[in-house]
Chains A and B, each alone.
Chain A
């Protein structure tokens, strides 16, 4: 397995090598699809802009914007991640073994983000299709203006969950400190339990779907038209 040591190589070298490997993998020409990054020591922008199916394991904690804009790659951070992890992810999987700081998965358009610890404020802000599973709890203003995708929280949610929500689906197992404007509790139907069950399994979360409550938009704040439901 190729290893890049950030105590030896600089960040540009790291990201260039990973991006080249990802592109080669996307063209089915990759020799190396399993990478390891050592000594991240809180560095910013580790493993960003990957555009192909490679696996990257980061052996420690990262700073701002780790795994940003990820497409198809599987990235695991063995420590905690700083602000903006997996921001604007398109597809692939990002797993944080520790905690994630604020705005994890912000504006994400696809893929799966798993936080095995807690996520801080603004988790999933403006999410647009990403699925996020947090094993622990999340902070205030999470899923603010979330448009589509799924946010699953096995612990508790902070203040103003789902404020100004569009069509993202929120599932919380523990308590919700307060709901944001236009966010309401909704009925849990079989299709939701099925969706939740699949996400919990993929995220390695030991929780039963029946233990969760579902929250969604009351659709009073934006112009929702049932005829266009399929495009949301």
Chain B
């Protein structure tokens, strides 16, 4: 099954409430996915410059003195803000590549959840309410965000198998469905040099979009391409630094409801996820068409 929620704000005055709204939407989708939950939030003011969100099994030990160590190793100041098992490490944009390479090579106990100037990803196994509380999602502000509640099918219930998946800076994807050609596509992408962490089918979809965008396609075009190259069933919600997109496969078994007002665009696997949003009674509410790319950008 799985549940998806997404919120893209058009009215900046709602920004301080992004996390509260998204968290409520996420918890409503608990019975679609009680195994794990995750959220990608854009524009939260956690650190400045370039942000790398990392996860550790033993955060107290792993994060202790880490900022000083990274500042020393990369030669530029690194700050760290810990949130439960996750930490957002921020540094100057020019130091991003050095930091990421150093983390990958010298801190193999840390798992990189996301990188980028705007995006942070928090995800863990457990009920959506517990995950949301653990990371204090309700207090996060921002411009847009995407959440997912997972009922596992294609790979194990682990932190790394939770959604959202990120395979490029400020890019994320959540998926409801199941892909059938992910193994062959993963091999092709890996041969092309794309970094893929897990055996999960949804991560391959994320990596595919990243790959197409590296080849010069914009997100909307990359989503169009995926209709030809991905086999299986899916509803995707994707985020970029400034954008928010939705795509359903041509058969469109997986549910999707969207709502739009002057203040926001919202996505829910079910209408239930949207009922508490401001102005929902007068919002334009519709079911996205199959094989039709929906994309908003600011």
Would you call B252 an interface residue if the criterion is a C-beta within 8 Å of the partner chain's C-beta atoms? Answer: yes
Q: What is the minimal beta-carbon distance from A198 to any residue of chain B, in angstroms? A: 30
Contact with B along A99-136 (1 / 0, CB 8 A): 10110000000000000000011000000000000000
Residues of B within 8 Å of A61, CB to CB, are 271, 275, 285
Q: How many Å lie between the Cα of A41 and that of B271 in the bound state?
A: 8
Given A41-B275, A121-B252, also A139-B270 (CB < 8 A): no
Q: Are A42 and B270 in contact, with the CB atoms below 8 A?
A: yes
Secondary structure of the B side of the interface?
loop
The count of chain B contact residues (Cβ–Cβ below 8 Å) is 16
B21-40: contact bitstring with A at CB < 8 Å (1 yes, 0 no)?
00000000000000000000
Which residues on A sit within 8 Å (CB–CB) of B286? 99
Give the chain A neighbours of B285 by CB distance below 8 A: 61, 80, 99
CB-CB under 8 A from A82, the residues of chain B are: 255, 270-271
Give the docked Cα–Cα distance between A55 and B94 (Å): 67
Contact present for B290 and A121 (CB under 8 Å): yes
Q: How many residues of A contact B (CB 8 A)?
A: 16
The answer on a CB contact under 8 Å between B287 and A42 is no
CB nearest neighbor in B for A98: B285
Is B195 on the interface with A (CB-CB < 8 A)? no
Nearest-neighbor residue (CB-CB) of B274 within chain A: A42
- Write out, one digit per residue, whether chain B residues 196-211 have a CB within 8 A of any chain A CB (1) or not (0): 0000000000000000
Pairwise interchain contact A63-B272, C-beta atoms closer than 8 A: yes
A121 to B290, CA, bound (A): 9
**A41 to B, closest residue via Cβ:** B275
Q: Tell me the minimal C-beta distance from B198 to chain A in angstroms.
A: 30
> Which residues of chain A have C-beta atoms less than 8 A from B273's C-beta?
42
B275: chain A residues at CB < 8 Å are 41-42, 61
Residues of A within 8 A of B (CB): 41-43, 61, 63-64, 80, 82-83, 99, 101-102, 120-121, 139-140
B residues engaging A (CB < 8 A)? 250, 252-253, 255, 257, 270-275, 285-287, 289-290
Given A42-B275, A102-B252, A139-B252; 15 other pairs, CB 8 A cutoff = A41-B272, A41-B275, A42-B272, A42-B273, A61-B285, A63-B272, A80-B285, A101-B255, A101-B257, A102-B253, A102-B287, A121-B252, A121-B290, A139-B290, A140-B252
